[in-house]
Amino acid sequence: MFHAFFKSVCCFTVCLMLAIACSPAAPATPTITTSDILPASQAGNPVTTAGTLSAQTQTQTQRQTQTPVSGFAIANTLTTKILPGASQTAQYLPLLQGKRIGFVANHTSLIDGRHAVDSLLQCGINIRRIFSPEHGFRGTADAGETVSGGTDAATGLQIVSLYGNHKKPTSDDMFDIDLMVFDLQDVGARFYTYISTLHYVMEACAENQVPLVVLDRPNPNGQYIDGPVLEPDLTSFVGMHPVPVIYGMTIGEYARMINGEGWLAGGRQCQLQVIPCRNYTHASRYDLPVPPSPNLQTPLAIALYPSLCFFEGTPLSVGRGTDFPFMAFGHPDLQAGDFRFTPQSTAGAKNPPLLGRECRGTDLRTMSIDDLYAQPGLRLEWILFAYRNYPQKSAFFTSYFDTLAGTHTLREQISAGLSEEDIKASWEPGLEKFKSIRIKYLIYD
């Protein structure tokens, strides 16, 4: 009985927001449309300012948090709470009303702790179909695991998987869709595949003349830009665009860049609208309310992920199949390190690398996430340490390493014994060029 009452209250709350949104007196938060990313001569406004969220001067102060869930918490400052685009219901519910909706979503698609699909359905929004990325709609599939479509047991809606051999919605998937909504929590690393899913969704929308609304979410690694820029011959699903490993943009800003730089097939642009976050800047510290994927279980793992993911292109383990994935690394043959762990079959890592083998390496759980935020940047010290202490140098890199790095040069630099300082210096020209592109599409300070 209480559960039914709670659902009714939640529905009433969201529907009340809908009523407010439809009122002429409703305050307007600016939305970002296709016209905002056209050249100034076409849009009638400078691309660096048109349609962007008004700058709010914010001083980062001591944070407050709600009760953590699995090590996660919703981040607040003492005076303001960061609200994702999905929480700005007054700004987008009128866009959805009376239309047949396709919804790109997973377990991170939340409106104040409740799944967006459930909330919108109960308010009478006509969601025709769910499209799910890597890890599936409920976010439980392993990295790289084939995820099939099907029917969502809770809602009865059809789920179309956008992973494996079906990365892009087809015309048949979209024949009865009037408007697509995209709401996925990204972590700001080029090889995290949600931005690749975004690309293919935008491409399908452009080809089928279906508008796209992106509900923006904060980037937990949005405070810095670092890493080699992707080389064209290494384009893949873990790197589709000429951007650095860490690009310092929200997924809504990234969508604007895909459109504006003509990266969709044939140089098309999709009809794009971004619902911005509120009270967010790129300097904001934001801890996610839920893990974005099975092996990023804590804020520390998310912060370490961009640096440790390079190990996925080596024989070493990054702790998949343990209680601390992406918070350690090791290998049975590593000749240094004071930490030992043994990967096992676990939820989210059914067959992890080095299954059942004791690994020697380094435990990074003692690192301070505050220190990582205070000194942001990709850290090569761990991959350099592992290479120096791995006995079979010729077998250290797999072919996947260059794909993840987006360049052949990093592997060559590590093999040649270059220092972290020298390697990072070689990235600077590419980073400066990217920054001049990035600035055109920013919504936040």
What is the per-residue pLDDT for 164?
A: 84
Tell me the domain boundaries of the chain.
2-42+62-288, 299-407
Rounded Cα–Cα distance for residues 379 and 305 (Å): 10
Structural element, H or E, at residue 118: helix 116-122
Q: Is residue 133 a contact partner of residue 194, using CB atoms and an 8 Å limit?
A: yes
Sheet containing 339-341: order of strands: 328-331, 359-363, 339-341
DSSP 215-228: E----TTTT--BSP
Pairing of strands 158-161, 339-341: unpaired
The most distant pair of C-alpha atoms in the chain lies apart, rounded to whole Å, by 70
2-42+62-288 fold: Rossmann fold (3.40.50)
430 DSSP β-pair partners: none
* 3-class DSSP state of 52: coil
Pairing of strands 272-275, 212-215: parallel
What is the per-residue pLDDT for 133?
A: 86
Rounded Cα–Cα distance for residues 412 and 231 (Å): 15
Tokens of 143: 């990295």
Q: Is residue 33 a contact partner of residue 272, using CB atoms and an 8 Å limit?
A: yes
* 3-class DSSP state of 92: helix
Mean pLDDT across the chain: 84
Tokens of 210: 């279906």
SS (H, E, C) 258-322: HHHCCCCHHHCCCCEEEECCECCCCCCCCCCCCCCCCCCCCHHHHHHHHHHHHHHHCCCECCCCC
What is the per-residue pLDDT for 138?
A: 64
pLDDT tens digits, 2-15: 344 444 444 445 45
pTM of the model: 0.84
Amino acid, res. 376? P
pLDDT in tens, the chain (445 residues): 434 444 444 444 545 454 444 333 333 444 444 333 332 222 222 222 222 322 222 322 222 222 333 344 434 433 489 999 999 999 999 999 999 999 999 999 999 999 999 999 998 999 999 999 876 676 444 444 456 678 888 889 999 999 888 999 999 999 999 999 999 999 999 999 999 999 999 999 999 999 999 999 999 999 999 999 999 999 999 999 999 999 999 999 999 999 999 999 999 999 999 999 999 999 999 989 999 998 999 999 999 999 999 999 999 999 999 999 999 999 999 999 999 999 999 988 989 999 999 999 999 999 999 999 999 999 999 999 999 999 999 999 999 999 999 999 999 999 999 999 999 999 999 999 999 999 999 999 9
Distances in whole angstroms, Cα of residue 235 to Cα of each of 196, 240, 311, 407: 11, 5, 19, 10
What is the per-residue pLDDT for 153?
A: 82
